[in-house]
Structures are given as C-alpha cells and as structure tokens.
A and B are shown apart, each in its own frame.
Chain A
Amino acid sequence: KAGVTQTPRYLIKTRGQQVTLSCSPISGHRSVSWYQQTPGQGLQFLFEYFSETQRNKGNFPGRFSGRQFSNSRSEMNVSTLELGDSALYLCASSVSGGSPEAFFGQGTRLTVV
C-alpha cells in the first residue's frame, strides 16, 4: 500500500514569488490536512480538506490557500512569499470518520531567499 507522497521534497524560491506544493494521500483516504513547522516551532495547523471542501482552517494569512481534487490529492499554494515562510510543510492523510489514524508524508522543505 503506497504511503503519502509529497512533492517536491525541497524547494528554493525568491521573496515575492508564489509556490504550489502537492500531497497525494493514501488510496481511499479522503481527508488531507496541512501543517507548517518553522525553525524552533512545533507543527502548526494550516487547513484540512475533505471531499474537495475545506473543512477547517488555521490561523494563517490569506496568502496561504489550498484545494483538493476529486481524487483526494491536495495542493497548497503560498503567494507573495516572505522569508518567514521558510519551513517544513507536512501533510497528513486520514480516512475520516471511524478510524482516527493519520499518516504523514515526508514533507516539503521550502526555503525562501
């Protein structure tokens, strides 16, 4: 059974640019949630998608957005990048409803210069 796949693994962008990260959940999982870890900080919740709908959103500026496709793959987009957006972005995949288990990708390490 394939795990959660995040692409790309590493990314370097310039301030002001925008970036799109991708997360393919485990087959059959309909919930995808995204988290940010900046240096010295714990993992902070960005948003969660279930069946193509954003179900919950964390306390991040509007520059952070996401979407989910009909095959449950999810993308997150950050526009007008700032140096402080440099972080590890992790996504989690869950069945949603029933089992509470969550599985993670390896993350995307974004560096903004």
Chain B
Amino acid sequence: ILNVEQSPQSLHVQEGDSTNFTCSFPSSNFYALHWYRWETAKSPEALFVMTLNGDEKKKGRISATLNTKEGYSYLYIKGSQPEDSATYLCVTRRAGGTSYGKLTFGQGTILTVHP
C-alpha cells in the first residue's frame, strides 16, 4: 500500500442499519490516523485520532479500530441515522522529520442514510 485507500467509495443504507468502512494505509513510519466526518460546505469534523496499534475509540454510535502492523483501520456506525449522511475521511500522519506536518487523505466514503 503506497497511499491511503478507503472502501467503499459510497454506501447507501437504510435508517437503523449498521455499517462499516475500511481505511488501508502504509504501515511504515506510521504516526497517527484520523477519522473525520465532512458535510458539504462545512469544516471536516474530527471524530477520532488514534496512534497506537490496537487502539479502539468510541463516540456514541460510532467507533473505530486501528491496526498499525498491517496498516488498516475500521470505522463502525451502529444504527445509522439520516443525520449520519456525510463523507467520512481517513487521514494519516507519518513520523520522521518534516513529514509530520503533512496529512495524507483517503478519497473518502460517501454515506447516505435513507429514512
């Protein structure tokens, strides 16, 4: 893996469904992984930042896990609601010198939750 890759690109679910997205990233020189929720015309909203292998974070119905050895992270949404509709971005930081300040983005997963 050379870049940050997210799947699926888009997802349509019914209200109440649970869903999950995947983010794959280069495991070398890993420093941190961020998940953001981004609605049109708004700032990306930070959901989680994880740095340690095995990290699990939870915020209400949303949770995330991190595996730095194999280079992947999962984002789970339990009982999706229409207001969860947004683009979910996976973003990484790499360690080492000036690389720290550069964020690398996945293409995002567009989630649409139908009432």
Q: Are A42 and B106 in contact (CB under 8 A)?
A: yes
Max chain A Cβ within 10 angstroms of own Cβ: one of B41, B42, B93, B103:
B103
Q: How large is the interface on B (under 10, 10 to 19, 20 to 34, 35 or more residues)?
A: 20 to 34
Instruction: Establish whether residues A45 and B106, one from each chain, have CB atoms under 8 Å apart when the complex forms.
Output: no
Closest to A53 in B: B98
Total contacting residues, chain A, CB less than 8 A: 26
Asked whether any CB of chain B lies closer than 8 Å to the CB of A55, the reply is: yes
How many inter-chain contacts with C-beta < 8 Å in the A-B complex? 58
The B5-38 residues at the A interface (CB cut-off 8 A) are 31-32, 34, 36
Instruction: Determine whether the beta carbon of B101 is less than 8 Å from that of A94.
Output: yes
The contact string, 1 if C-beta is below 8 Å from chain B, for chain A 1-24, is 001100000000000000000000
Residue of B nearest to A100 (CB): B32
8 A-B residue pairings within 8 Å (CB atoms): A33-B101, A33-B103, A42-B105, A43-B103, A45-B102, A50-B101, A100-B34, A106-B43
Given contacts A43-B89, A104-B44, A107-B43, 6 further A-B contacts (CB under 8 A): A42-B106, A45-B102, A55-B101, A101-B46, A102-B34, A104-B43
Which A residues contact B (CB, under 8 angstroms)? 3-4, 31, 33, 35, 42-45, 48, 50, 55-56, 58, 90, 92, 94, 96, 100-107
